[in-house]
Structure 1
């Protein structure tokens, strides 16, 4: 609550859950993160509730009035002693019977019994360790803790002071308290909550930028949720409009959401409500405010941890806000606002035409592309829920460990969701920046590298590979015999660079039954110590068909990596890093995950015969950078690469390829063959590095002629659709390769396009 008003009692936000509810999962750093499950008590696609009092029956009454049970309950702890803070039995014991998750609003020290300097030095660590242990004993280990909430205001005794801004004591205090709690309760979830209506130092009243100041935000490694308390005052929305109330204001709700997105965090609105007590600074019976808050929750539900209405009627708390809207719990301070809230929260979810915070979110620093809303880009948000439900059910049902989905249109992110876990054993959630092994989606990147060299005049696509890799000068084709006594002939035509790009080279992978496959297994090419070694091993092996005669999926793209290395004079991985990844800002794409990023990498799970999932041993690289299947990446990085191709070879002023080269890349280069399609199906041809859809009817699935993309062995998938202007990406980490989920993903993505 903002301003100098007094609160009643104690705040704990309790997130309601069913048997699944919210699961606490480790997030960035050492903290545990909340992840939304398939259901909520309220039935809403976000978690919603109220603060009424410290009595469970009153929260039940509020839920009955609004037509939906509460997911969250808000209470406050006793601030008069360390005992009241570290062992808050009174409010928690009152909530027995509520199947919820507690989010406890805690001051940083008892009133009159501490300061930030002592806290920063660790003098209160034992108290916080005791609190963490106490939560475990109470079976409330997964509580959300709003530590030092609204510290950016000038009305809390623990608020940031001028001295704190200079010394960093407040920030250090918050960090120590959070780490002490985690040391005895690793499942605790820490929320950093600001006052949503201005920042001033305690006593000094000097405004400062709460998000930019280096000594206020505690840090991504200790913060799990970014919260705000956003009431209809200072300024009231109906007097200044939504723009000034929540967008233009530095600490407004929209900027809080933007800050959370930039830092990869969920956001929460633990307290919000109308304000009737102060006619000058409050909005009174403000229906426009209630509608905008609802629209904001719906539009940003993917990032919303929870929201709780603060119901404090003047008839019961005359010194408080005047935010009463439930007639069954005292007087109503806003009759029309009350009616609107009840209608909105009890009825079916209504998706707004646009995100009220669109302007603040459209250019979020750190976002891979500008953010937009489904409606603005021609999607139905309601229809996209079908996609979310399907993928969520796979993860909740343990059929897949987890997933990340990304949809972009017109160069803007429409939908970006995470599901399940990146590490089932440690209960670490899939995050938007989770690093996944993309296997054969590496091929498209390698193909782009080859085309860059072609554009520089280094070679022509129809030239013999042997001009640049002489080891292929005497390559042969196996036409009969066995692995021990093969019948070999000269190829009918030279092996060209284009044959490598289109998988018509006659090269294969080792997993097959022919004599050629057996010879591949004996040669063990994937154990090569370098790309040069790999190329030499493959050159000694026969081709399974004459070059250009048939599509055979295999190691062709790895040979392209050797070609890039030989022609450019640079190590292949360095070429990709300096010529593609760094120019495009793909900071999380590489052949080996750096040690400091291992916590962000997803484990690949192998499905067992009984349907259970176990970590797969197939994680390591060989002795060389495999352009055919060796890269790790994130959905954020890959969408930038894909958008570059959709844009005709450039992204945000950085040109990687020319427009005509991308046109060539997206054409079907199997049109000289019969059939003109890949070996996997009868409706896709193959371009220079990826599949091209040729026939809608034969595909019997939604899509567009001309869409381009590929997939990876561990169940990653992407498609670029030039007709619709879309990029669709699905990252899972599942073996054997899941071919069915991408099909369903594609259908559910396309059915949501409504323009």
Structure 2
């Protein structure tokens, strides 16, 4: 069974008036990510304020470099003009990783990937690029259509040609805005499964900076989760190991994506990863073994992970990811990711 995780739009923001339009251009300038840093940049999704991020860094014992955030996405205005979001991170030293919707979620709007491929929505992404530049975030990482391989998203693709053409239009349009040439685009899938081939929707090397994978400690594979009521410490470790093998070795698991990124000549990213204490029991809960395996994967230069961001959030009622609540794992996380 495909181990499907969820990404959350944990949003509280509104929008103001739109920015002026820019002159379009059809010339793309591909950006090459900086490969000089050998250690993956340390990131987090935890909150919507710099103070909250600094608090997580103090707890973790190291400075946060990348901050993951999402904006409202009900309407096109939400997508193009996320002013509260932009203001939150203005003048901060963090590199911002934005979850960027390809379509608004308001069901009353007649929108489609095919219309985007025709250029019907270029103006909204041009405006967004202008806003990013105006707020000092012209080097943001954009997770355009993140986790598109999950059927719950409105931008879950039907036709590969439409998805690819639309992606390319957005990248070309945004990078054509003066000052936005440094925007980076993260082609971001949800990890796992044996049937859905997301590679059919890869838009090409000139339009992608990172191959991103979101991965959580969840599994529906036999002999993994939920833990039986009588599961001993040894029993739990055996099930955690089987769950990790499912995460890593499934047909479209982490091993596959590491090799795919290498073939494309792109670094990997892990924009969301974490433990998951779930009410249905299909997460490993407080699982230091998962933290150890993820650290091993991230630290292995063969995987070329450019940045990683832990998902430090309690998503009531769907479960909890917080390392500060899952205390055994939190201790191991700090020992491995911020050694003294």
Identify the residue that residue 52 of structure 2 maps to in structure 1.
Answer: 58
Distance in structure 1 (CA, Å) of the matches to 2:134 and 2:7: 34
Distance in structure 2 (CA, Å) of the matches to 1:256 and 1:335: 30
Distance in structure 2 (CA, Å) of the matches to 1:10 and 1:321: 20
Distance in structure 2 (CA, Å) of the matches to 1:68 and 1:109: 36
Distance in structure 1 (CA, Å) of the matches to 2:56 and 2:292: 19
The number of residue pairs the alignment matches comes to 302
Taking a change above 3 Å as real, the CA distance of residues 291 and 71 of structure 1, as seen in their structure-2 partners, is same
1:188 aligns with 2:190: no
Distance in structure 2 (CA, Å) of the matches to 1:33 and 1:103: 17
Taking a change above 3 Å as real, the CA distance of residues 47 and 260 of structure 1, as seen in their structure-2 partners, is same
**Cα distance, 1:177 vs structure 2:** 1.2
Identify the residue that residue 284 of structure 1 maps to in structure 2.
Answer: 285
**Cα distance, 1:33 vs structure 2:** 2.3
Partner of residue 74 from structure 2, selected from 80, 92, 100: 80
Identify the residue that residue 240 of structure 2 maps to in structure 1.
Answer: 238
Summarize the alignment of residues 143-292 of structure 1 with structure 2, pairs less than 5 Å apart: 143-161=140-158, 164-165=159-160, 168-184=161-177, 185-198=180-193, 207-211=195-199, 213=200, 216-235=201-220, 238=240, 240-247=242-249, 249-292=250-293
Identify the residue that residue 229 of structure 2 maps to in structure 1.
Answer: none
Contact 1:246 1:254 in 2 (8 A): yes
Summarize the alignment of residues 349-748 of structure 1 with structure 2, pairs less than 5 Å apart: none
1:347 aligns with 2:332: no
Distance in structure 1 (CA, Å) of the matches to 2:48 and 2:153: 21
Distance in structure 2 (CA, Å) of the matches to 1:7 and 1:138: 22
Partner of residue 324 from structure 1, selected from 303, 322, 328: 322
Distance in structure 1 (CA, Å) of the matches to 2:203 and 2:54: 35
Identify the residue that residue 31 of structure 1 maps to in structure 2.
Answer: 30
Distance in structure 1 (CA, Å) of the matches to 2:78 and 2:52: 23
Distance in structure 2 (CA, Å) of the matches to 1:58 and 1:10: 15
Distance in structure 2 (CA, Å) of the matches to 1:224 and 1:75: 18
Identify the residue that residue 570 of structure 1 maps to in structure 2.
Answer: none
**Cα distance, 1:277 vs structure 2:** 1.4
Partner of residue 104 from structure 2, selected from 84, 100, 110: 110
- Structure 2 SS opposite 1:94: helix
Distance in structure 1 (CA, Å) of the matches to 2:181 and 2:193: 33
Identify the residue that residue 518 of structure 1 maps to in structure 2.
Answer: none
Contact 2:44 2:312 in 1 (8 A): yes
Structure 1 gaps of 5+ residues are: 12-28, 39-43, 200-206, 327-331, 349-755
Structure with larger Rg: 1
**Cα distance, 1:90 vs structure 2:** 1.0
1:100 aligns with 2:94: yes
Structure 2 gaps of 5+ residues are: 14-27, 226-238
Distance in structure 2 (CA, Å) of the matches to 1:31 and 1:278: 44
Summarize the alignment of residues 291-306 of structure 1 with structure 2, pairs less than 5 Å apart: 291-300=292-301, 303-306=304-307
The two structures have a TM-score, normalised by structure 2, of: 0.82
Contact 1:31 1:188 in 2 (8 A): no
1:183-204 per-position Cα deviation (integer Å, ceiling 9, x unaligned): 21222111100011338xxxxx
Distance in structure 2 (CA, Å) of the matches to 1:191 and 1:157: 18
1:516-558 per-position Cα deviation (integer Å, ceiling 9, x unaligned): xxxxxxxxxxxxxxxxxxxxxxxxxxxxxxxxxxxxxxxxxxx
1:116-162 per-position Cα deviation (integer Å, ceiling 9, x unaligned): 1111111001111122222222221111111000001111121123x
Identify the residue that residue 749 of structure 1 maps to in structure 2.
Answer: none
**Cα distance, 1:10 vs structure 2:** 8.1
- Structure 2 SS opposite 1:244: helix
Taking a change above 3 Å as real, the CA distance of residues 228 and 4 of structure 1, as seen in their structure-2 partners, is closer
1:234-282 per-position Cα deviation (integer Å, ceiling 9, x unaligned): 35671624332212x1321221111111100011000000010145321
Partner of residue 337 from structure 1, selected from 324, 329, 335: 329
Distance in structure 1 (CA, Å) of the matches to 2:114 and 2:268: 29
The two structures have a TM-score, normalised by structure 1, of: 0.38
Distance in structure 1 (CA, Å) of the matches to 2:65 and 2:8: 25
- Structure 2 SS opposite 1:79: coil
Contact 1:209 1:250 in 2 (8 A): no
1:308 aligns with 2:330: no
Contact 1:153 1:195 in 2 (8 A): yes
- Structure 2 SS opposite 1:145: strand
